[in-house]
Amino acid sequence: MVPGGECQYAAAPGADTDEDRNTVTIEGQISSIDWVGGVITVRWLQYDPYIKYDEITLSVPRDIKIMKASQPAGFNELSQFDHVTVKYRKDKSVSLPRAVSITVTNAIDIAPTYNR
């Protein structure tokens, strides 16, 4: 306690920041790309509270990290129907959520495997 009876808390090392709490990761398929506007739309399965398809349109900044076939890639190398894992940041002050990273994944690589 400090004088006056108020408690003060310090953030623990490695604690979540506001930026971390506003970052969301989704896996889905690119349904549309606007190369001129720097925008993609991703269709993904949402599981809360029911399973349904949802789409989200994201702005893609020039400095974004894009990976394709385990190699750095440019925005112009993305294709409609690519399977992707996208991290984006929710920010109410802008009209579109901003993508933070995009990783193109092969659908076979992410499919579940079963032992027979």
Domains of the chain: 18-110 (2.40.50.320)
Model's pTM, two decimal places? 0.73
Please, how many CA atoms are within 13 Å of residue 54, restricted to the half-sphere of its CB? Answer: 12
Is residue 16 pLDDT above 80, yes or no?
Answer: no
> In this predicted structure, what is the pLDDT of residue 17?
54
> In this predicted structure, what is the pLDDT of residue 99?
96
In sign, the C-alpha dihedral spanning 15, 17, 19, 22 is positive
> In this predicted structure, what is the pLDDT of residue 1?
36
Mean per-residue pLDDT, 62-76? 93
Q: What is the pLDDT of residues 36-66, one digit of tens each?
A: 999 999 999 988 788 999 999 999 999 999 9
Mean per-residue pLDDT, 57-86? 94
Alpha-carbon gap, residue 66 to 87, rounded angstroms: 11
- Work out the percent of the chain whose per-residue pLDDT is above 70: 74
Alpha-carbon gap, residue 27 to 82, rounded angstroms: 11
Q: Output the average pLDDT for the chain.
A: 80
